[in-house]
Structures are given as C-alpha cells and as structure tokens.
Amino acid sequence: MGENDYLPLFETRASRGRFLFKLYVLTIFVAICMILVYRVSYLPVEGAVEIWSWIGMFVAELWFSFYWFITQLIRWNPVYRYTFKDRLSQRYEKDLPRVDVFVCTADPEIEPPTMVINTVLSMMAYDYPPEKLSVYLSDDGCSDLTFYAMLEASRFSKHWLPFCKKFETEPRSPEAYFRTALEPLDDPLKAKEWLFVKKLYMDMKNQIEATTKLGKLPEAICKENKGFREWNFVSSRRDHQTILEILIDGRDPQAMDNEGQPLPTLVYLAREKRPQYPHNFKAGAMNALIRVSSRISNGPIILNVDCDMYSNNSYSVRDALCFFMDEEQGHKIGYIQYPQVFESLTKNDIYCNALNAEMKVEFPGLDANGGPLYIGTGCFHRREALSGRKYSNECKVDWKKVNDTKVEESTGVLEEVCRVLASCTYEENSEWGKEMGLKYGCPVEDVITGLSIQCRGWRSVYFIPEREGFLGLAPTTLLQTLIQHKRWSEGDFQILLSRHSPFLLGHKRIPLRLQLSYCNYLLWATSWFGVLPYLVVPPFCLLRGISLFPKVSSPWIQPFTYAIFANRAYDLVEFVWSGGTFQGWWNGQRMWVFKRTTSHLFGFSDAIRKLLGSTKSAFVITAKVADEDVSERYEKEMMEFGVSSPMFNILATLALLNMFSFFGGIKMVIMNVESKVFDLLGMQIILCGLIFFISLPIYQGLFFRKDSGRMPNSVTYKSIIVSLLACSIALY
C-alpha cells in the first residue's frame, strides 16, 4: 500500500451548520455583559441588607457567566467518529490482538448475580475470535453466590455462544435478548433449538435466583466445584484471602462449546482484603485485575465495564480496534470511551439520569478539544497507557507480532501465581495507585485516571456507535441520584484542588481548551455559588419589598429576560434534539436545581473537609434493585422521598420559602394595583413562581401524599419551621 492510497480505519467529521449556534452565543454574550454592567452601576448606596443582597446576586451572576463560558467552549465544535470494520477485517483479521474484558461487581445484594452473569455472557459473546477474548470478573463482594452464578454461566456459555452466532442475536445478554425477541417461526428445527436455549437460560436463572433468595448455597452445589472450599476460610467480605479461579482456560483444548469451537477464557477473582489495608474500592479492584490478567492473557487492549452494563452491540470490540489499529493515528490513542446509555429510564426520565446532552453534545465537543474523560464503564484502554506508560513515538505497536508470546504454565500454577498478584501486600511500597494503574483516593477514580493518561501524552477518543454499545442501569430513586451526583461532584472537585488538576498536572501537557473543558465537570461542586443565591435572595427580598432586578418597564430588564429565557430555550432544543421529551426537559430543570442545592453543596463541603484531613473518601454503591412498591412508583414517575435526609430538608425548605414569597408577591400586586409593585418586583415574582412550579412534586410529597414514598414527617416539620422563620425575619 503506497503512502497516498492509505485508507484510514476511522474518520472524524465536524458537525456543520453551527452558524445559528454561534450567533446565539454572541447574543447571550452581549446580554451577559450588560447584566454585569447593570450590577456594577446600580449598586445600592444604603441599607446593609440591600447592599449585601445585591452583592450576593452579583457573585451568582459572575459564577453563571463563567460557567456559561465553559459550557459554550465544550459545545463550540463537536466532532463525530465513524469506523470501517470491513477494512479492519481485510487487513488484520488474522492478527487481531487479544482483548481482556474487566467486569467489576461489589455486592451480591444490590448487584444481583443474575445481572452480573448476563453482563459477563454478553461480553463473552462478542463477535471476536474466542481464543483472543478473556473475561475477568472482579467480585469485591467476595460472594459464593456470585461465584456459583459464574460457574453456571460458564456452563451455559457453551450453548449461548454458538446460539448467538447462529441466530445473530443482538443484544447478547440472554436476559435482554429473551425479554424482547420472538421465537423464529419460519423453520421448525430452528424454533426447537431456540426454545431449548431459552429454557436452559430460564432454568439457570430461576435456580440462581432461588439460591440467592436462600442466601446460602446447598451442600450439593458446593461439592460440585473445589472453588467453593475457599469460602471456608473467608471470615467476612472485608477480611479474606484471594480467591481466584480460572473457570474456563481458553488454552485448554477441552474448553469447547457444544459445536466444537473454542471458548473465551473466563476468570473469577475476589482479591485479598484485610481490615488493616485500604482496598481502594473500584480502583483497587481494577489494579488487581490489570496484574492478574497480565499473567493469564496479557491482552494489549482492555475493556472495562460496570457489572450492570451489558454489551448491546457485538461489534464494539471491532469498532474500538479500528481506532487503536489505524496506521496513522492509532498509536497515539490511549483510550476509547463509549457513551453511557441507560435502559432503566422512564419515558420522561424523572430524575434526569439519561445524560443525553452530556453524551450527545458535550462529549463530542470534548473530543474536539483534546479528548473525552474516562467515565468508568464502556471504555477500551490500551494496557500500556492504563498501566502508566508515557506516550512516545516508540509506542507504535507491531500488530503482526503482539500475539507471539505464549503462556506456558498449567492452569493450576497460573492460579497460584496470580493469587499473589491480587494480595494486599503486593502493592505495598509500589507505584500502584499512584503512577501505575488507576489512581487511589478519589471517588471518581475513572476521571482522575483518564486525565493522568491524557497528561502522559495519550489522546482519547469518543465514539458513538449507531447501535448503542452498552446499556446499563441508572439510579431509580431521588436520593440515590442525589448521592451519586454528590460522589461525582465531590470527586471531581477534589481533582481540581489536588496536584492532579488539569491546570497543574495538565499544564503544557494538554491543550488549554481541554483544561477549561474539564472544569465543566470539576466545578460542579461549586455550582451552588450561583444557584443558592438565586433561590434564597430573591424570595427573601421580595417579602421585604427590596428590588434586585431592573423595573419591568426599564430597558435594562431585557438582557436579564433574554439571558435567562433564550438560554433555557436553547437548552430545551438541545434536550429534545438529543432524544428527550418536553416533560423530560422540565424534569431536568427540576433536577438541575435539586442537584445544585444538595449534591453539589454536600460534595463541596466533603471535598473541603477531606482537603483539611477530617474525613476519608468513601464509595456509596448505587443499588441496581429496588422494592416492589418503590419500582412501581418509579414506573409511574412519582418522585420518591420516603426516608429522611438532610438533602430533603434543604429541598423542602427552599421550596416552601419560594412558595410563601410567590404568593406573598402576588398578594402585594393585587392589594396595590396602582402602586406599580409588579413593575418594581416583577422579575422576582416570576423567579419565585418558576421555583414554585418546579417544586410541585415536593409540596405533594410534603402535604398530599399518603404512600410510603411521601416526605417523612420530620422533614415536613423541620422545613416548615425553618422556612417560616426565614419569612418572619424577612418581614420584620
């Protein structure tokens, strides 16, 4: 192939027709400047409350302006990637590299074993040479139930893999497939086979679920495999030796599916845990997997998924390789991030978990600005980059040679060697968790690790396949959503404050526009600087009759209304364009306020406390199952409160304060029609009104609902007292 007729394995297209967007940005920019000019030139001269309120609003607006700037920077010039899998096959089919898949699970109760093995099975069934595919499960829950389910899955895979090939099934998680697929009616022979495999799956599932419900394995099952004996030595989930079993050794000529084809390697690992050693959550699990897999299969490409993210597209590995193996650009690429897509969402996505705008607009924009973040799941890594190697020109891989090395040890010996690699002491006095592998000490181990990979000179790529690559589960209650966002905002902010921040570590190593783009997420924790003043000061001042905005009749009102409403209109268009509904957008506005006044506020304070050394970071795992009545309310899109939490106290208090002020404001307007109250306070009344309408589900939860998902009484009482107190302070 000559220099000139090189055909790339992927291509990058910038999105076109951005003129309207850029015009919109320009007009908002002008409006923002005018708002700031107004604030500075009309600073009240007397009255402490007046002056301080004014300053509070000004701080909020400065914050909004800055944040607006970085959100536009991310949106400025998104790029989209396309792959050519046929070219990959033509050139490299025989030399495809080994690929290691890492699945992490941590708790058999909130991450049920059937869900875990469905993810594992979907990964084993990739359209990829099985002898080059290895799937590793890290079980931080150290559960014999999960181990048992994995054994069952390894048996079932002998039927499932040939079945997937024959029927070209998609998706390849049996649960997801059988949930929707219809039996093939055209061919009775095929139908018989189809029904047979379906029954096999159902039987396996029922048996695993029955055993899980019991919570204990029957003797008979334990006798079947020597692996179960390991649990005799497990004192608790936090105190046990390494358990490592190679359930299928791909090298074993006996490891065949029922059509005589080889099977992918399958490994179960519960790394050693001891109370005196920090286990570092998912980052620790991943690092153990990196080491263990380096001995067993040592694939140069690693795919990392959470246990709830099954593969929905059997070509994802090939797509990813189109990037890594591209002759001109591939060697620079450290990781390829796929979007996080969730299948558990309701129609109008009541908790706004879809991340549509992030995944469809912001990440393509990040890709243009220097590369997307690593977000923990659905990400293909180059092993070298993940392990800590710096990028250099020598990183060019000779793909024709990568498969040359062979492991010689027997399965038993390999297991022995690898147990040591997953022990607690192995990492002592080493660079693991610092310069090697995923970084420790941060609740968003993914983002901080991705950033450090980029700072070591690697490029990252964002790829949205036509058929979604991975489908996962999002939180299904309000509190879980808020807690997840607290973990994210806290971790992200911690990165910004640390020496790993994009501005310190990234200085001169990644482009400035990428440094700034990172702030879009790393500054989440500070968002309450903007939002809290806007939720507290206007209603408070409204009750006192202090005006914070230009008169409705003044021309100065225009930049305010334009900046607020045009911005929201743009947001709506973007939301609907990326697949949402109008009601979903409205729900998103509510969650926007909720997250900023609770998750981000708490994330901020915990990050600061951690900086001062008074707390340690934790990782609250998101539940993947819920009680029946909770799920039922979720399906009906009823907001779930149910338990008391300081987060709910804040939400309810703010909602009540704005409600009192809104009605107070309306009353003032009605009582003094001639005195132009509306002209003076109109904008504040409208703002309080918006918060009032956004908070309707809160009032329902506080006063009108009877079900167990309503606000607990303690929250109701506390919020009423505090908001009334605030109102009386305002009035007197």
Ligand X SMILES: O=c1ccn([C@@H]2O[C@H](COP(=O)(O)OP(=O)(O)O[C@H]3O[C@H](CO)[C@@H](O)[C@H](O)[C@H]3O)[C@@H](O)[C@H]2O)c(=O)[nH]1
Q: What is the largest CA-CA distance in the chain?
A: 93
- Using CB under 6 A as the binding rule, whether residue 487 contacts ligand X is answered as yes
The one among 446, 490, 574, 640 contacting ligand X by CB under 6 A: 446
- Using CB under 6 A as the binding rule, whether residue 105 contacts ligand X is answered as yes
- Residue of 100, 139, 140, 308 with catalytic role: 140
Give the separation between CA 163 and CA 258, rounded to whole angstroms.
Answer: 10
**345 Cα distance to chain centroid:** 14
306 is in an annotated binding site: yes
Which part of the chain contacts ligand X (CB under 6 A), choosing from 99-107, 246-254, 450-458, 543-551?
A: 99-107
- Using CB under 6 A as the binding rule, whether residue 523 contacts ligand X is answered as no
- Chain residues in the site for Mn ion (CB under 5 A): 306, 622
Q: Helices then strands (H, E): number in the chain?
A: 26, 12
Give the separation between CA 226 and CA 65, rounded to whole angstroms.
Answer: 63
Give the separation between CA 380 and CA 44, rounded to whole angstroms.
Answer: 56
Identify residue 594 by its one-letter amino acid code. F
| Angle between helix 19-41 and 557-577 (nearest 10) | 150
Give the separation between CA 470 and CA 316, rounded to whole angstroms.
Answer: 9
550 — phi, psi (to 5°)? -60, 160
223: enclosing H helix or E strand = helix 219-224
Residue 465 binding partner per list ligand X, Mn ion, none, with a CB distance cut-off of 5 to 8 Å that depends on partner kind: none
Which part of the chain contacts ligand X (CB under 6 A), choosing from 52-60, 149-157, 439-447, 636-644?
A: 439-447
The one among 123, 133, 269, 444 contacting ligand X by CB under 6 A: 444
Pick the closer one to Mn ion by CB: 158 or 487: 487
- Using CB under 6 A as the binding rule, whether residue 281 contacts ligand X is answered as yes
Pick the closer one to ligand X by CB: 137 or 639: 137
Q: Which pair of tokens denotes residue 284?
A: 């620790």
26: enclosing H helix or E strand = helix 19-41
Question: DSSP states of 29-69 as a string?
Answer: HHHHHHHHHHHHHT--SS-HHHHHHHHHHHHHHHHHHHHHH
Residue 136 β-bridge partners: 102, 267
Residue 377 binding partner per list Mn ion, ligand X, none, with a CB distance cut-off of 5 to 8 Å that depends on partner kind: ligand X
- Using CB under 6 A as the binding rule, whether residue 106 contacts ligand X is answered as yes
**238 Cα distance to chain centroid:** 26
Window 288 to 347, contacts with ligand X (CB under 6 A): 306-307
Nearest to 148 by CA among 228, 215, 213: 228
Residue 17 neighbours by CB distance under 10 Å? 6
Give the separation between CA 142 and CA 150, rounded to whole angstroms.
Answer: 13
Give the separation between CA 22 and CA 192, rounded to whole angstroms.
Answer: 59
Pick the closer one to Mn ion by CB: 315 or 470: 470
Residue 285 binding partner per list ligand X, Mn ion, none, with a CB distance cut-off of 5 to 8 Å that depends on partner kind: ligand X
Q: What is the closest distance, in whole angstroms, from the C-beta atom of residue 161 to ligand X in the complex? A: 23
The one among 31, 73, 104, 125 contacting ligand X by CB under 6 A: 104
Window 131 to 190, contacts with ligand X (CB under 6 A): 138, 140
Q: Give per-residue burial for 415-448: e unless 16+ CB within 10 Å, then b.
A: beebbebbbbebbeeeebbeebbbbbbbbbbbbb
Q: What residues contact residue 362 under an 8 Å CB cut-off, 6+ apart?
A: 71, 74, 75, 520
Pick the closer one to Mn ion by CB: 257 or 306: 306
Residue 678 binding partner per list ligand X, Mn ion, none, with a CB distance cut-off of 5 to 8 Å that depends on partner kind: none
239 is in an annotated binding site: no
Residue 119 binding partner per list ligand X, Mn ion, none, with a CB distance cut-off of 5 to 8 Å that depends on partner kind: none
- Using CB under 6 A as the binding rule, whether residue 492 contacts ligand X is answered as no
Give the separation between CA 521 and CA 678, rounded to whole angstroms.
Answer: 38
The one among 135, 145, 270, 285 contacting ligand X by CB under 6 A: 285
**426 and 291 Cβ atoms separated by less than 8 Å:** yes
3-state helix, strand, coil in the chain (%, to 5): 55, 10, 35
- Using CB under 6 A as the binding rule, whether residue 484 contacts ligand X is answered as yes
Pick the closer one to ligand X by CB: 473 or 668: 473
Residue 243 β-bridge partners: 270
Q: Is 446 a catalytic residue?
A: yes
Residue 621 binding partner per list ligand X, Mn ion, none, with a CB distance cut-off of 5 to 8 Å that depends on partner kind: ligand X
Which part of the chain contacts ligand X (CB under 6 A), choosing from 34-42, 269-277, 438-446, 708-716?
A: 438-446
Residue 444 binding partner per list Mn ion, ligand X, none, with a CB distance cut-off of 5 to 8 Å that depends on partner kind: ligand X
Q: Give per-residue burial for 590-604: e unless 16+ CB within 10 Å, then b.
A: bbebbbbbbbbbbbb
Residue listed under structure tokens 């002759």: 327
Give the separation between CA 123 and CA 172, rounded to whole angstroms.
Answer: 8
Window 27 to 46, contacts with ligand X (CB under 6 A): none
Give the separation between CA 545 and CA 421, rounded to whole angstroms.
Answer: 68
Q: What is the closest distance, in whole angstroms, from the C-beta atom of residue 306 to ligand X in the complex? A: 3
Q: What is the closest distance, in whole angstroms, from the C-beta atom of residue 320 to ligand X in the complex? A: 17
Pick the closer one to Mn ion by CB: 598 or 622: 622
- Using CB under 6 A as the binding rule, whether residue 349 contacts ligand X is answered as no
- Residue of 100, 326, 446, 606 with catalytic role: 446
Which part of the chain contacts ligand X (CB under 6 A), choosing from 92-100, 349-357, 365-373, 619-627?
A: 619-627
**476 and 642 Cβ atoms separated by less than 8 Å:** no
Q: What is the closest distance, in whole angstroms, from the C-beta atom of residue 225 to ligand X in the complex? A: 23
Q: What is the closest distance, in whole angstroms, from the C-beta atom of residue 80 to ligand X in the complex? A: 23
The one among 263, 537, 621, 657 contacting ligand X by CB under 6 A: 621
Residues in the chain: 732
Q: What is the closest distance, in whole angstroms, from the C-beta atom of residue 589 to ligand X in the complex? A: 22
Pick the closer one to Mn ion by CB: 112 or 538: 112
3-class DSSP assignment, residue 311: strand
Pick the closer one to Mn ion by CB: 249 or 306: 306
Pick the closer one to ligand X by CB: 440 or 662: 440
| Residue 665 to residues 49, 100, 457, 685, 727, Cα–Cα distance (Å) | 19, 62, 57, 6, 12
The one among 76, 619, 663, 699 contacting ligand X by CB under 6 A: 619
Site string (625-644) toward ligand X, x via CB under 6 A:
--------------------
The one among 282, 381, 596, 610 contacting ligand X by CB under 6 A: 282
Q: Which pair of tokens denotes residue 159?
A: 């039927």
3-class DSSP assignment, residue 505: coil
**531 and 604 Cβ atoms separated by less than 8 Å:** no
Site string (579-618) toward ligand X, x via CB under 6 A:
----------------------------------------
Pick the closer one to ligand X by CB: 423 or 484: 484
Q: In the complex, which residue's CB is closest to ligand X?
A: 376
- Using CB under 6 A as the binding rule, whether residue 277 contacts ligand X is answered as no
- The catalytic residue positions are 140, 446
Name the binding residues for Mn(2+). 282, 306
Annotated binding site: 111, 140, 282, 306
* Contacting residues toward ligand X, per CB under 6 A: 104-106, 111, 138, 140, 281-282, 285, 306-307, 376-377, 443-446, 484, 487-488, 491, 619, 621-622
- Residues of each annotated binding site for UDP-alpha-D-glucose: 111, 140
